């Protein structure tokens, strides 16, 4: 019997060993080439790709076209699976490879019509003579590099496991990717139906407190016929399945020469995006005799979204402009007509067919009204059209990115931004002597200021009056203070009629307050500020909570030590802080209790909006708010405290409950999550602190979903050695040395150099690849 068991054990171990070897070689075959010589068609000369110690490619070529062909080749070698899945999500073809789990997402993106919009824009440019052949040739070269790599190397293991047959990448894929960026900035599809439903069911006083901007004008909206909260599902499938990043916020600030120890301008930027695996940005440095740029690139997009050269740098935050509106339309489907401005007129329609893995294809029509496409395949409620600035004729973010990288002067850079209708951005600019901020995208003056509600589409009463001119949009150029800050809140210079889905001003006020504390700053100071786990509103809120807490003598004895500890807390959300756990849980319990009059779906949906934290701070300050009529402020805050302290047997540290897991598209279920996902890791910071790490909703657990997608600091005293960090690593390949080499650095708030000088790159060189 013992011999038989030994034989079974030896056999099992042998099989496992052989399987392990087979899996290793299966994974290894698709590793990116890092050294040696590769032969690439259509190059005008040899290209050298040096990798620094973090795997960042530094591409040395004789022309920009060659450099972009190499960029496509190298990016594909490290991120081809990410590029493929991003393309499929943004073009509504995910179901073809993952099944009907992605059908709602595919219907959403087909209804949005990103491809349709961009193809029309390009066709119009060709007709009008505005088509930039040089730029398009560079885009084609980049795609050629991707396609050459894809056709000459083993496919990534993700594509092999999902049995994806490769097809060529084309420039239209890049245009469409900017549409996804613009869509993830907008919130109308997620918010407006919810807010309309709440407006219908709550008193005006209760509802006004729930809004981002309290309006004094009477409520006027097209009534919601159904609850229709299922709109959240397509966005969740798109983000939680981790096929492509969604954009969530950002911090950025600029210091002019008079506020810098170096005497040169400094830019700091950390765009907040849903954490994904692989990471959002692909970093690369391009050097030619006539062009040089250190850039952060989106998958499939050949021009840097974030970047710096030796003479200029830029970053962005979401402007949160309200560039999406929902209109209830009167539609006669038999006659194929829609009423607009009180008159019936024909509508356009296009057919969409979605292939679904292991199931029949799904076909449907998308009806185009004068406001935009009907979202019938996405919303429970029918005949709701989406009016969206991205669909504006001539909107061309790709050309803007191209010209931003090519800009030689601040004026060149500003001109590059003007034609963009969406995405809505705060674009931050710096060169050695200048700092500037422009709010980019369409801002509309609207007849109906209640644009967070469903508008009425047939009468013409709720149409836009006009768009703001370029000069009317909020902006600053070289302000006397020498400081510019944007952090997704309402700009202080915004006209009263400007509508937005702005986030709370906590981060803005905290950053402004910190920058006012001393006259001169340096890069190392910015590293500390950018990773500060602090919100300047915390002492105000905590004082309010402690003041309103009402405990009997026995409870005072029971919780006395805990409360004393909380009073002495340094107010920072550090990993080892149990006080941070109690503080954040207390606020979460309070918000859930405050909104207990809403049904569960409404409450969960609302706590996911940008309005929720604004609402909470507003009603804490206003003891006469209607929200305290059901339960007094003192009683509710006390109940929230008791719920918080009884949640755990022992009060945990913040790092024990505030965690991040980087979820890979292949790691969405057990047991593949154990292989492909990274974490969970404890992570400091919190929602609305400068180190802004955001959980799913404000009343749920503290599993982080979004935060800094990169941290960048560029001091023009030495732009060739700036500072940055990636949340994970540059490669998506599990066997790459650059797969997760930055994870712990990022969590600890550390930085690495972003190098541009050849001698510095060679000192830190890890690999050397020649393309011939």
Residue 559 pLDDT greater than 80, yes or no? yes
Q: Using one digit for the tens of pLDDT, what is the confidence trace for 609-618?
A: 989 999 999 9
Residue 639 lies in a domain: yes
**Which domain, by its residues, includes 15?**
1-30
Per-residue model confidence (pLDDT) at position 243: 60
Pairing of strands 752-755, 765-771: unpaired
Domain boundary among 590, 624, 652: 652
Angle at 519 between CA 517 and CA 520, to 5 degrees: 115
Residue 3 pLDDT greater than 90, yes or no? no
Comparing 1 with 255, the larger pLDDT belongs to 255
Instruction: State how far Cα 137 lies from the chain centre.
Output: 29
Q: The tokens of 258 are what?
A: 């008079």
Mean pLDDT score of the chain, rounded to an integer? 93
Mean pLDDT along residues 468-494: 95
Q: At 609, which CATH number?
A: 1.10.1400
Residue 561 lies in a domain: yes
Residue 242 pLDDT greater than 90, yes or no? no
* Count of structural domains, the chain: 2
Per-residue model confidence (pLDDT) at position 241: 46
Per-residue model confidence (pLDDT) at position 217: 66
Residue 45 pLDDT greater than 90, yes or no? yes
Residue 245 to residue 181: CA distance in whole angstroms: 8
- 46 by Cβ neighbours in 10 Å (0-12 / 13-18 / 19+) ranks as middle
Of all residues in the chain, what percent carry a pLDDT higher than 70? 96
What's this model's pTM, rounded to 2 decimal places? 0.95
Residue 620 to residue 628: CA distance in whole angstroms: 9
Looking up tokens 């492909």 gives 676
Q: Using one digit for the tens of pLDDT, what is the confidence trace for 652-707?
A: 999 999 999 999 999 988 898 999 999 999 999 999 999 999 987 787 789 999 99
Residue 589 lies in a domain: yes
Residue 600 lies in a domain: yes
- Structure confidence at residue 163 as a pLDDT band (50, 70, 90): very high
Cβ distance 697 to 591 under 8 Å?
no
Residue 611 lies in a domain: yes
Residue 647 pLDDT greater than 60, yes or no? yes
Listed residue (157, 164, 174) closest to 72, CA to CA? 174
Residue 211 pLDDT greater than 70, yes or no? yes
Residue 702 to residue 382: CA distance in whole angstroms: 36
Q: Using one digit for the tens of pLDDT, what is the confidence trace for 698-756?
A: 877 899 999 999 999 999 999 999 999 999 999 999 999 999 999 999 999 999 999 99
Mean pLDDT along residues 28-39: 95
Number of Cβ within a 10 Å radius of residue 219: 13
Residue 13 lies in a domain: yes
Per-residue model confidence (pLDDT) at position 497: 85
- Structure confidence at residue 17 as a pLDDT band (50, 70, 90): confident
Residue 575 to residue 533: CA distance in whole angstroms: 10
Residue 270 to residue 485: CA distance in whole angstroms: 12
Residue 709 to residue 270: CA distance in whole angstroms: 7
The DSSP secondary structure of 421-440, one letter per residue, reads -SS-EEEEEE-SS-EEEEEE
Residue 231 pLDDT greater than 70, yes or no? no
Residue 272 pLDDT greater than 50, yes or no? yes
Mean pLDDT along residues 475-483: 98
Q: Using one digit for the tens of pLDDT, what is the confidence trace for 428-475?
A: 999 999 999 999 999 999 999 888 999 999 999 999 999 999 999 999
Per-residue model confidence (pLDDT) at position 460: 95
Mean pLDDT along residues 591-602: 94
Cβ distance 299 to 79 under 8 Å?
yes
Domain boundary among 652, 677, 710: 652
Residue 6 lies in a domain: yes
Per-residue model confidence (pLDDT) at position 236: 44
Residue 207 to residue 724: CA distance in whole angstroms: 43
Residue 240 pLDDT greater than 80, yes or no? no
Residue 368 lies in a domain: no
Residue 664 to residue 61: CA distance in whole angstroms: 34
Residue 659 to residue 657: CA distance in whole angstroms: 6
Left, alpha or beta for 394 (phi > 0: left; psi -120 to 50: alpha)?
Answer: left
- 122 by Cβ neighbours in 10 Å (0-12 / 13-18 / 19+) ranks as middle
Mean pLDDT along residues 521-538: 98
- State how far the alpha carbon of 543 is from the alpha carbons of 378, 571, 591, in Å: 44, 11, 17
- Structure confidence at residue 576 as a pLDDT band (50, 70, 90): very high
């Amino acid at each position: 019997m013992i011999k038989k068991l030994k034989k079974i054990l030896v056999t099992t171990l042998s099989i496992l060993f052989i399987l392990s070897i087979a899996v290793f070689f299966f994974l290894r075959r698709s590793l990116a080439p890092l050294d040696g010589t590769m032969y690439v068609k259509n190059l005008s000369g040899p290209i050298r790709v040096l990798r620094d110690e973090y795997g960042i490619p530094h591409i040395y070529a004789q022309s920009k076209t060659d450099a972009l062909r190499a960029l496509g080749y190298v990016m594909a070698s490290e991120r081809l699976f990410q590029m493929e899945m991003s393309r499929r999500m943004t073009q509504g073809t995910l179901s073809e490879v993952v099944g009907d789990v992605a059908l709602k997402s595919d219907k959403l993106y087909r209804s949005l019509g990103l491809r349709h919009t961009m193809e029309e824009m390009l066709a119009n440019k060709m007709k009008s003579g505005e088509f930039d052949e040089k730029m398009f040739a560079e885009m084609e070269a980049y795609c050629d590099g991707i396609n050459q790599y894809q056709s000459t190397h083993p496919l990534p293991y993700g594509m092999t496991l999902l049995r994806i047959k490769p097809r060529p990448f084309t420039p239209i894929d890049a245009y469409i990717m900017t549409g996804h960026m613009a869509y993830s900035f907008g919130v109308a599809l997620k918010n407006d139906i919810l807010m309309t439903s709440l407006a219908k069911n709550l008193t005006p006083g209760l509802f006004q407190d729930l809004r981002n901007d309290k309006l004094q004008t009477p409520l006027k909206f097209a009534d919601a016929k159904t609850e229709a909260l299922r709109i959240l599902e397509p966005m969740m499938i798109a983000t939680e399945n981790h096929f492509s990043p969604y954009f969530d916020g950002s911090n950025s600030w600029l210091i002019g020469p008079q506020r810098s120890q170096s005497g040169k301008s400094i830019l700091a930027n950390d765009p907040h995006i849903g954490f994904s695996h692989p990471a959002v940005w692909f970093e690369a440095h391009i050097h030619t005799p006539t062009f040089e740029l250190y850039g952060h690139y989106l998958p499939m997009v050949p021009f840097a979204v974030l970047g710096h050269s030796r003479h200029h740098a830029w970053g962005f935050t979401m402007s949160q402009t309200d560039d999406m509106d929902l209109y209830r339309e009167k539609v006669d489907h038999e006659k194929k007509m829609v009423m607009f401005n009180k008159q019936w007129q024909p509508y356009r329609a296009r057919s969409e067919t979605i292939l679904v893995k292991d199931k029949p294809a799904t076909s449907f029509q998308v009806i185009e009204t004068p406001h935009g496409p009907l979202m019938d395949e996405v919303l429970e409620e029918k005949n709701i059209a989406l009016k969206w600035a991205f669909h504006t004729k001539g909107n061309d973010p790709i050309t803007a990115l191209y010209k931003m990288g090519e800009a030689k002067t601040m004026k060149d850079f500003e001109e590059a931004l003007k034609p963009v209708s969406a995405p809505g951005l705060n674009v931050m600019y710096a060169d050695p002597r200048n700092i500037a901020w422009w709010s980019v995208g369409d801002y509309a003056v609207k007849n109906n200021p209640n644009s967070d509600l469903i508008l009425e589409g047939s009468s013409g009463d709720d149409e836009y009056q006009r768009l703001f001119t370029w000069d009317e949009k909020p902006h600053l150029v070289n302000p006397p203070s020498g400081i510019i800050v944007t952090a997704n809140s309402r700009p202080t210079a915004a006209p009263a009629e400007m509508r937005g889905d702005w986030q709370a001003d906590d981060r803005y006020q905290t950053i402004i307050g910190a920058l006012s504390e001393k006259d001169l700053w340096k890069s190392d100071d910015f590293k500390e500020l950018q990773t500060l786990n602090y919100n300047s509103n915390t002492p105000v809120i905590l004082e309010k909570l402690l003041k309103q807490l009402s405990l009997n003598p026995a409870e005072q004895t029971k919780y006395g030590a805990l409360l004393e500890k909380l009073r002495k807390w340094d107010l920072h959300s550090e990993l080892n802080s149990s006080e941070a756990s109690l503080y954040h849980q207390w606020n979460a319990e309070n918000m859930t209790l405050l909104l207990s009059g809403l049904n569960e779906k409404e409450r969960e949906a609302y706590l996911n909006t940008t309005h929720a934290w604004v609402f909470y701070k507003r009603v804490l300050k206003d003891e006469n708010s209607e929200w305290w009529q059901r339960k007094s402020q003192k009683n509710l805050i006390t109940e929230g405290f008791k719920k918080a302290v009884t949640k755990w047997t022992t009060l945990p540290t913040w790092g024990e409950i505030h965690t991040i897991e980087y979820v890979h598209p292949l790691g969405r279920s057990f047991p593949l999550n154990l292989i492909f996902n990274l974490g969970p890791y404890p992570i400091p910071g919190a929602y609305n602190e400068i180190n802004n790490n955001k959980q799913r909703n404000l009343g749920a657990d503290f599993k982080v979903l979004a935060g800094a997608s990169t941290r960048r600091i560029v001091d023009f005293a030495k732009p060739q050695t700036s500072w940055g960090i990636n949340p994970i690593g540059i490669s998506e390949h599990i066997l790459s040395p650059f797969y997760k080499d930055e994870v712990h650095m990022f969590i600890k708030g550390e930085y690495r150099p972003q190098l541009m000088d050849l001698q510095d790159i060679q000192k830190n060189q890890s690999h050397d690849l020649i393309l011939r």
